[in-house]
Amino acid sequence: MITADDLVALVRNYNPNCDEPLIRRAWHYGAAMHEGQRRHSGEPYFSHPVAVASILTEMRLDDATIITALLHDTIEDTRSTYSEIAGTFSPEIAELVDGVTKLTNLQLSSSEAKQAENFRKLLIAMSRDLRVILVKLADRLHNMRTIRSMRPDKQGQKARETMEIYAPLAGRMGMQWMREELEDLAFRVLNPEARNSILRRFITLQRESGDVINRITGDIRLELEKAGIEGMVYGRAKKPYSIWRKMQEKDLTFSRLSDIYGFRIIVDDVAECYQVLGLIHQRWKAVPGRFKDYVSNPKQNGYRSIHTTVSGRDGKRVEVQIRTRAMHEVAEAGVAAHWAYKDGARVANPFAVDPAKWVAALTERLDQAGEDHDEFLEHVKLEMYADQVFCFTPKGDVVQLPRGATPLDFAYAIHTRIGHATVSAKVDGLRVPLWTRLRNGQSVEIITAEGQRPQASWLELVRTGRAKAAIRRSLREEDRERFIRLGRELMRVAFEHVGRRLTDKAIDTAARRLGMKDPQELLARIGSAETSARDVVEKLYPELASLPGEEIDSARPVIGLEPGQPFRRAACCQPVPGERIVGITYRGKGVVAHAIDCAVLAGLEDQPERWIDLRWHEGRHAPVHTVAVEITLANSAGVLGRVCSLIGEQKANISDLRFVDRKPDFFRIFVEVDVRDAEHLHHILTVLSAETDVAEVLRFRDPGRQP
């Protein structure tokens, strides 16, 4: 464990004017408060707060933050109190310790409604004093470094929480080194086989190709020397989780993965950054589309650097980052650079972002998500994970968007009203589809029209939480009444499925259990396919939600056949379990089951000897009964994919799909869907009818088809 003298020495390295007596007093106070307490590993508990303080010294933070780290668990885990810390140290330190305590008590892995509320509290804590979050991140980092001493189930929970919340938050705050380490530590717990596999591949790669990092670093230094530029050059292999994520996103094997090595060049001034960029592109071939200039367009957390990817030695792609020393300090510390000390004084770094403005900008956009828990969580996670692109309005104003954003995202970033009225867009003066992915430096012009309203298909086109939330709100308002009616019908069918009758009281109860503000909200969500009626039934009647018994043999699904008698469904009417049927014998074909209302039966009334009384087995049928459905769709982007997704969400397979009529505004398709029974089919037709861009859905029967 680090002693008080060791900790003071670490602080004095960057702040010779630190308050040594106060830091020593905090060390001894924390040690006394935690006396006798042990960690899961058996170590003295106080070793943890000291380790957290040590991590924060690497970020060169002020005395108050270091002391807060030493005391951050005292209010929660010892007899210490807020007033005692305020009197012994200072009200500022007591407020910081109290803030960390409140964050520690947030269960960020709990239910989504609870998690959303805790995210809001986390953002409020950030807005009061960002140092609270810095201590919490260092606390989580040390806990992840020592996670092996925890129970396996606790390890999984903490690792998921780290991957979903703390790692992206560190990245959003500009502390990329901390984000990468948190991700890799969580990855080690969540998927150790994948991580070990990547590490083994690295060892094999180094054995086959030698020390690539040293060779390329030497090449870069040689180019700098030729040009008379003094600079530092570092190279490293990317972290296992970073490589794994890229393999998953691009569906690549390790052998096909490029740019697994990264290099950093640090020079004296901005002019030399661009000079070095020219040297790199002269020596090696630049990879198109992989250049980012965060010097002229800095990230919101103050990050500035030039990124480029080139084909280096032996054709291997490598990423190169070029920045000044001042930019590098911000890149390492992120938002924390605001508090950083150097030689006893706060560093006046021109690139350090004002924490208050950074938090205000983040929370302002997150507030747009409204009160809906799902939207808020989706929005906050999108904002945290965002890697930015910078585009320009026709007047030259810069709009920041996450990677993968489209012109629709751009429109909503300007104003919700403009987003709603968007009909098309021009990028760099050329008309482009609304699903176009924007790139850095492009100029975007949004074309609007009166009377235009958001379409459901837009949800597939946008990337930002703000745009998704605005589109969903508009769709819900416009279609609310229709969705409420459809939702009630879906609920009725779901209740009948488990032998219950739908009542207003049941809807009220379900809405409360699901955290909805009123029953109408629940019905609207079911009608718009945001919530499943089956999920509601499972909440109210978990013991009845599953279909009992074994699945019925799909080769003999009916009662009334003689042993060994061949059977099949009529192609003309395609009856399904749950519908009344009659069997007709055909020479050489056995028995064919027709729906009782099939038009073909009228021509067989004078042949009663061919009629057989059939009925379906009661119980759970396999989803193998093909039914043809005729759908008329709006001819716009993403609609067909949405329809197919809706069918898949109902656990139905599409066995055939063909276009039968195409028009400029609409097209008609036949879809053959494999269903379980009549109720399953009814669910599919109802959900498709609720889709905004579906004009008509009909079950198709063809009396002319051979039985």
Strand ranges (E), 587-679: 590-595, 611-612, 615-616, 625-634, 653-662, 666-675
Residue with tokens 């997150």: 366
Question: In Å, how far are 341, 457, 532, 650 from 697, measured between CA atoms?
Answer: 67, 18, 20, 16
Which positions are annotated as active-site residues? Answer: 76-77
Question: In Å, how far are 266, 281, 293, 546 from 287, measured between CA atoms?
Answer: 21, 10, 15, 54
Measured torsion, CA atoms of residues 7, 13, 15, 19, in degrees rounded to the nearest 10? 30
Positive or negative, the Cα torsion across 283, 289, 293, 294? negative
Q: 605 — phi, psi (to 5°)?
A: -65, -25
Q: Is 251 exposed, middle or buried (0-12, 13-18, 19+ CB in 10 A)?
A: exposed
Measured torsion, CA atoms of residues 164, 165, 170, 172, in degrees rounded to the nearest 10? 90
Helix 63-71, helix 4-12: angle, nearest 10: 150
Per DSSP, the three-state class of 70 is: helix
Question: 666 has which bridge partners?
Answer: 634
Q: Is 258 exposed, middle or buried (0-12, 13-18, 19+ CB in 10 A)?
A: middle
Q: Which residues of 378-410 are buried (b: 16+ CB within 10 A; e: fewer)?
A: bbbebbbebebbbbbeeeeeebbbbeebbbbbb
